[in-house]
Amino acid sequence: QVQLMESGGTSVQAGGSLRLSCAASGYTGLNRCMAWFRQAPGKEREGVAQIFVGSGSTSYADSVKGRFTISQDNAKNTVDLQMYSLKPEDSAIYYCAQKQPWYGGTCPRTATQYNFWGQGTQVTVSS
């Protein structure tokens, strides 16, 4: 059974940086996508960044491109989200998600396509 556990969420000031981590257990093979989503109060869950574990190829939402970086450590079975130049509008609960199987191409960006989810970690950016 796949389990995902996020960590690293906290409160930061605008312009600051933060690193989130997602530890995966269960299926940890190469044929999967890992992604970070976020959801602010009253808003839909938004795909922030995705990575295809098999190749390491990444994709990002336009709103975070150039500020966020998703990365993986296959030895530790972790996927991190490094966030720079944080803005108040980045405040949300951040979720780690896994989609399997996935054999290549750009990972999906919609929440409904992901099979497994973590419980989320709160990020609050104050102005």
C-alpha–C-alpha distance, residues 23 and 96, integer Å? 9
Q: What is the pLDDT of residues 1-27, one digit of tens each?
A: 899 999 999 999 999 999 999 999 998
Do residues 96 and 71 lie in contact, with contact meaning Cβ atoms separated by under 8 Å?
no
Q: Rounded to the nearest 10 degrees, how much is the dihedral formed by the CA atoms of 118, 95, 85, 54?
A: 80
Q: What is the pLDDT of residues 75-115, one digit of tens each?
A: 999 999 999 999 999 999 999 999 999 998 899 999 999 99
